[in-house]
Each structure stands twice: as C-alpha cells, then as structure tokens.
Structure 1
Amino acid sequence: MKENRGCVEDCLMKIMSWNVRGLRKPEKRSKIKALVRAKLVDVLMLHETKKLMILLSSPYGPWMIWDLWRNFILLSGILSQSFHCVICNIYAPTDALKRRKLWESLVKLKLSYPNPWCLGGDFNEIRVMSERKGCSRRERGMKDFNNFIESLELIDLNMHGRLFTWCNALDGERWSRIDRFLLDPVWLERYKFKQWGLPRVISDHCPVLLMEDGRDWGPKPFRFINAWTSHPQFKKEVEKVWEEVQIQGWASFRIMIKLKRLRAYLRRWNMEVFGNIDDLLKQAEDELHEWDLKAESRSLLESEVNRRREK
C-alpha cells in the first residue's frame, strides 16, 4: 500500500481505470496515451502493466500508475482546494480467499482514512450472476464482495455503453463485468458522474471511464502515423517542406514555425495519399465494438465469429 498526501490544483473530472495486460509493446503505450489525451483524463489507473515502475505525465492532471506487485494503491489528499477525499486503485487477486482478505484489509483501513472514498479497478469479482456470461458460478465470492461494498456504504454506478468489461479473446464465449468504480455518496454530491465502458482495443479488458457530462473536449491534437513512413515519397515530402520554409529569428522559433507548417502539410498530404486514416482506424474499432456488443447479448454464429476475426 502506498500513500500520497497532496493537493491537486485542477478539479478532478475524469478518472479512467484499465487492465492493460502488459505495457512492453510501444504500440500499446501509444494507444493508451492517445485515449487519455482524447478523453482529457485527469487520473489514470492501470493494472497488470508488468513493469516495476512507470513514469508518465499528463497536461490534464496527475496520472496514478499501478504497480504489478500490489493489490491496491491508496492516495489521500485534497481535490479542487476543498474536497478532502481518498482514491484507491484496486487490482484484486483471482483467488476468492485472498480477495476476502483484501476486502477485510480495506474495511479496517477505512477507519484510518475516513474521508470519502473512490475505488476503481479490476475487482476480479461480480455482484450478481447477470454480470457474467458463459462463466462458472462463484456465489461465495459474490457474497463477500457485496458485503464489502455494504460495509463501506459505497455506490455501484450503472455501466453505460456496454454490459461487460472483460472477454476471453476473440471468440467471445465468456464475459464478465469485473472492472468498475465504487463511490462514497459524497463524491456524487460533488460530481455528477456517469460510468462508461469503452471499446476494447489493446486488452481483453475494456477501459472504464468515470466522467461528468458537458466538458470541453478541446482541439484534436496532431498525431504522427507510422504508416506514413511506408510511403516511398514520405521522406522527400518532409525534406521539401522543411527546406521551403525560410524564417528569421532564434533557432527555437524557426523550428517551431517549421514544425507548424510541416504539421499542416502532412495533414493535407495524408488525406490526399492515404485518405483519413484516423477515420478508417476508428471505423475498424467501431466495427469490433459492435461485434462485442452483439456477443454480449447473444452467441455469435460461426460465420459471424469468422467475420469478427477478420476485422
């Protein structure tokens, strides 16, 4: 257990929890950063990173990073200058007896940290059988989990966007809602939160986003697309634009202007040569998400399973 006492200057508005199942691949890290930027996430909870230490920063607020070797990290501090609260990042054991011990430890710890709690993460347990599909029954673990929630007097928000947060790979035969946020009612007096299950993209777990409505999402950032480097004319196009821009002034100023012109050119060049790759990728992810939603509600036909694997 770790504790960090401090004050977060900006009002906490969006918290994301995600079991990413490893962070060694650069493309995974890129996907996570892109999603955090797109959603303007204030606090990020990661699980199963399979790294001893991760150092990340965000212009939107602090990022809380999960350590593989612990079952929870607890932070106690002040949000928005006046909201004294506790944030707890959970990665519960898969063993039911070990989970029970974790619940008992957290209930005891609440006595030392009486401020309103927000718990988020992979609890490796469901509350009711409707939160599981195609999986074995474990009613004892469910009872322990519900007793834990009642002991801390937490609220389990409805999940918007999808029914389940975990799926066993592509076949989609087993589903569970084991990832969630649990909140002290005081949090909901302060923030009008809704809980969203986002599309699965890099893991068998989907990201879970706790957010308020009506925020300004901000401008869309520039993103370098690796596919550009596969085009035989890409390097020449970059060199041409870089050489054409002639600016007087300090070196840092000249570089800033050159990069600004290059970004604008690459956006146009991308549309002309590749089409809108962002839209194509988004379309592919949306199609996979649609297959996920169908598989959550019914068993897919063999032909549908094959089509899903092709996406």
Structure 2
Amino acid sequence: MDCLFEILCWNVRGLNDPAKRDAVRVFVASLRVSIICLQETRLNVIDDFLVMQCLGPSFDGYVYLPAIETRGGILLAWNKSLVNIERVSFDSHTVTGEVVPRDNNRWWLTTVYGPQTHEEKIDFLWELAERRSLCPGLWCLLGDFNMILYAEEKNNDRLDRFIMSRFRQFVLEHEVKDLYLQGRRFTWSNEREVPTLSRIDRAMVSVDWDLMHPDAILQALSSSVSDHAPIHHSLSAAFRPKRRFKFESFWLNLEGFDEALREAWVCDPGIVDPFRRLDALFRNAAEYFQAWGERKLGNIKLKIAMANTLILRFDVAQESRRLSQAEAWLRKVLKLVVLGLASLQRTIAR
C-alpha cells in the first residue's frame, strides 16, 4: 500500500506569467504530493528551470506534452525519492505512464486535457479506449476532460447530450469508476457575474485499482489562481490516530514475560527527578511491551484471514477432486487455528 501517496491534478490556465508560476509553487508547497499533473500549461517547451520555478526542487522527474501555439499542454512531474514513472507515452490529449511506488505495486496513470469541439471529443474518447487497450491492469485517469457525465454536473441546461452519452458509454465499456468528489459539486467556472459552473475535472479508476486503494479520497481544493479547482487525490486518506498503549492481562501468562519486564523497566540513570524517572520508566516499558506483544502473537486478524483464504482454496478444490491426505490434514488444522485465534481475539477485546 502506498504510504501518504498523494496526487495533485490542476488545470492552471497557463504558466507563461512568472507571477502565476510563483503562485503555483506556493500552492504546491502547501501540500504533500508525490505526483503533479498540470493541464493547459500553454508552453511549447518545459525545462528543469521552469519545473523548479513552478513546483520546487522536490519534483526532479517530469515529462510534458507541448502546447499547440498557446493552446493546451500537459506537465506530469513526480518526486523521485517517493515514486517513479516509467514507460511514458503521449497521445493527442493525454500523457500516460506506469507509476512505480516504493512498494512496487505498479499501476497506470493517464493525465488528460480534453478537447473543446464536438468532433474532437468523439475522437478523444476513441483515443482513450485505444490507450486503455495498450495499458492493461490497474489504471487511474484524471484531469480536465472538458465534458460531463450527467446533467446535474452543470448548473444550466445547455448540454451536449450526445457527448454525455458517449462519455457514459466509455465508462461502462471500460469498467472504470468515477470517484466521488468530496466537498464540491463543480470544478470549473467561467468567472462571470452569473457564472456557468460544471464538473469537467475528475478522476476515474479501474475496479482493481479501486480495490488496491480502498482508502483513496478525491477532493476539490480552492481554485486559487485558475478558473479550475485543483483536484487533490489521496491514495491513503484513512485517518489512523496513533494507537494508545494497552497492557494486556494475558501477557502475564506468556512465556518470557518476567524476563521481558526486567528488560523493559529501565531508564536513563542520569534522570534523578523521581517524577521524571517514573515517567521515563512507564514510557520505555510501554514501547517495549507494544513491540514484544506483537512479536509474541503477531497480527491476529491477518493470521485469521490467511487461514481462511487457505481453507477456501481447499473447499473449492474438494468440489472437483478428492483432497490428498496432507491437504485434508492441513485443512483440519487450519480450522482449529481459526477457532483458537478467534477465541484469543475475543479475549483481548474483552
């Protein structure tokens, strides 16, 4: 699982202005992201100096799709100390690469800047379908699609229902999930007094990608210096507060407890204040016994899940053939293991 893995996706509406570059860099610095996908850069050439100006020194890996004159352009950048992107390919409106996190659970990322005209949008959806056929497996695509899926994603009734239908057809045919957007209904405004609002920026993922990242969350942030809201995609967003130490009474009955207690109940001899000394003793003992208890018992839930997975394999196998003597014995032992671990888990919960 990716640790604190976050992606920023943003249509910045041009990076030609030095003031805009500074604003983007400040915004990026306020987040902890590993990958940045910027659309509509309006730049024909991007070099190391410009990436440094816009994103800071951490993003030492990047590729880009040049703008056509002053239209379009995509910049995909990443922090090499956290992740790498390999096997990069370019299409008319997308940049795709294979993301290689530190845990090596690889997946495909496609960043999108969709076209404006009706005819180009039809070609663009064909282009996406072709790219998907060349990149099987876990897939995440995100960016400014310049189209919507449903009527409620726009605040007026000026809709291209044919394109909406084709977009939904693409989603169904390729079995991608449109991620729920937290906190906002729309991601783009035409910035007029009576604005047109729509959700044209989004992230979609394949089913297997979604299963690998069950804690992922998608948020729309402040549009800041653009008319598009940045999309902040966190792949491990579940809130996990630091677990408080709890002394388990059954530890008293485990082999080696007395020796562990002697090793745990120590502190720096230089601490002479009795209250600080007692505080240090308790802190050291808590840290020691937390690790000692995990070494003794391991992760009970994980062990139960592993045992049940093997039992299921044997259950399925015996529907089509007779289990060998060793398989039947192991299946029986695993059932006893599950019973014992479940009982222990209940004891701990009490």
Give structure 2 stretches of 5+ with no counterpart: 69-91, 241-350
* Closer, same or farther: CA 207–172 of 1 in aligned 2, 3 Å: farther
Determine the structure 1 residue equivalent to 2:230: 207
- Taking the TM superposition and a 5 Å limit, the aligned residue runs for 1:246-285 are none
Corresponding residue to 1:36 among 28, 51, 59: 28
- Taking the TM superposition and a 5 Å limit, the aligned residue runs for 1:1-311 are 13-55=5-47, 56=51, 58-59=57-58, 62=61, 65-69=64-68, 70-134=92-156, 136-191=158-213, 192-211=215-234, 212-213=236-237
8 Å CA contact 1:117–1:183 kept in 2: the answer is yes
Give structure 1 stretches of 5+ with no counterpart: 1-9, 217-311
8 Å CA contact 1:94–1:124 kept in 2: the answer is yes
Deviation at 1:63, TM superposition (A): 5.1
Deviation at 1:168, TM superposition (A): 0.8
Q: Partner of 2:30: helix, strand, or coil?
A: helix
**How many angstroms apart in 2 are the aligned matches of 1:16 and 1:81?**
20
The worse-fitting range, judged by mean Cα deviation, of 72-81 and 195-204 is 72-81
Deviation at 1:67, TM superposition (A): 3.2
**How many angstroms apart in 1 are the aligned matches of 2:4 and 2:114?**
24
Q: Partner of 2:96: helix, strand, or coil?
A: strand
Q: Which amino acid aligns with 2:221?
A: L
Q: Partner of 2:28: helix, strand, or coil?
A: helix
**How many angstroms apart in 2 are the aligned matches of 1:49 and 1:60?**
17
Deviation at 1:210, TM superposition (A): 0.6
Deviation at 1:123, TM superposition (A): 0.3
The superposition leaves residues 184-228 of structure 1 with CA deviations (integer Å, 9 ceiling, x where unpaired) of 122222322111111111111111111132689xxxxxxxxxxxx
Name the Cα RMSD after superposition: 2.3
8 Å CA contact 2:177–2:207 kept in 1: the answer is yes
8 Å CA contact 1:45–1:66 kept in 2: the answer is no
Deviation at 1:49, TM superposition (A): 0.8
* Closer, same or farther: CA 164–66 of 1 in aligned 2, 3 Å: farther
**How many angstroms apart in 2 are the aligned matches of 1:64 and 1:188?**
26
8 Å CA contact 2:155–2:196 kept in 1: the answer is yes
Q: Partner of 2:134: helix, strand, or coil?
A: coil
The superposition leaves residues 78-102 of structure 1 with CA deviations (integer Å, 9 ceiling, x where unpaired) of 3234212111111111112211111
**Identity across aligned pairs (percent)?**
27
8 Å CA contact 2:187–2:229 kept in 1: the answer is yes
Larger Rg computed on CA atoms: 2
Deviation at 1:105, TM superposition (A): 2.0
The superposition leaves residues 42-82 of structure 1 with CA deviations (integer Å, 9 ceiling, x where unpaired) of 11111111101223255267456553244111112432342
Q: Which has the higher contact order (CA 8 A, sep 6+)?
A: 1
In the superposition, the TM-score normalised over structure 2's length comes to: 0.55
Determine the structure 2 residue equivalent to 1:304: none
**How many angstroms apart in 1 are the aligned matches of 2:6 and 2:194?**
29
In the superposition, the TM-score normalised over structure 1's length comes to: 0.61
